Amino acid sequence: MTESDIQADRDYAGADDTLLVAWAKEDSAAFGELYTRYVKRIYNYVYYRTGNHHDAEDLTSRVFFRAIAHIDQYTDRGVPFSAWLYRIAHNLVANWHRDRGRQRVVPLDDHLVTGAGSEMPEIVTESDEEQERLLESIRDLPAERQQLLILKFVERLSNAEIGAIMNRTEGAIKSLYHRTLLSLRDSLEGDEHSSAEPRRRRFGL
């Protein structure tokens, strides 16, 4: 059978990632389906890490170029194929920051604030002012913890997937997440006490 005949017999859209990866090692159309499935998510992740649309587009292209070049070496380690793509993106973004010596500025937005605020019971934000305080607290976190929140609440990845991307165990990711929650909670509580003090003085309390 010719390659065209093989492709005609394959249901790319209905195939799962594992089957597509197996096909993609010798079938460019299968990789094209993987690209379609994940290019937007990888781009969003890269953009959150760089804050620049032009660089995000360039790095996203490099992620998939590297992926197709090394697809033969891909090994299923019990986490989704997407975690492998995120890992490639993570490394390219790290190199991008290192080459430029830039501070890792993350363009946080309502997706992260809403997701984090709604799914972290330790942190409750009800007003716009409280959400803005949460946003400021997240911006003050180290880059690694910002990345964790992006992967968890924007990309909606599991702890196992995040661990594969960040080269940590699932337990280490859980621990880092817990410490991040405590840091955010302490930061927000500190802001509340600071903002409450002028009000107390104003009303003679």
- How far apart CA 57 and CA 19 sit, in angstroms, is 27
- How far apart CA 159 and CA 171 sit, in angstroms, is 8
pLDDT at 191: 59
Q: Which of 100, 130, 163 is the last residue of a domain?
A: 100
Asked if residue 159 lies in contact with residue 177, where contact means CB atoms within 8 angstroms, the answer is yes
This prediction has a pTM of: 0.72
Q: Are residues 43 and 83 in the same domain?
A: yes
| Token pair of 16 as six digits | 């799962």
Q: Are residues 134 and 56 in the same domain?
A: no
| Count: domains in the chain | 2
Q: Is residue 30 part of a domain?
A: yes
Domain of 130, in residue numbers: 110-202
Q: Are residues 189 and 128 in the same domain?
A: yes
Q: What are 141-161's pLDDT values in tens digits?
A: 888 888 898 888 878 899 999
Give the domain CATH number at 196.
Answer: 1.10.10.10
Q: Is residue 105 part of a domain?
A: no
Q: Are residues 129 and 187 in the same domain?
A: yes
Q: Is residue 3 part of a domain?
A: no
Q: Are residues 115 and 195 in the same domain?
A: yes
pLDDT at 38: 96
Q: Half-sphere exposure (CA, 13 Å, Cβ side) for 191?
A: 17
Q: Are residues 44 and 89 in the same domain?
A: yes
- How far apart CA 59 and CA 32 sit, in angstroms, is 18
pLDDT band at 195 (very low <50, low <70, confident <90, very high): low
pLDDT band at 200 (very low <50, low <70, confident <90, very high): very low
Q: What are 9-45's pLDDT values in tens digits?
A: 889 999 999 999 999 999 999 999 999 999 999 998 9
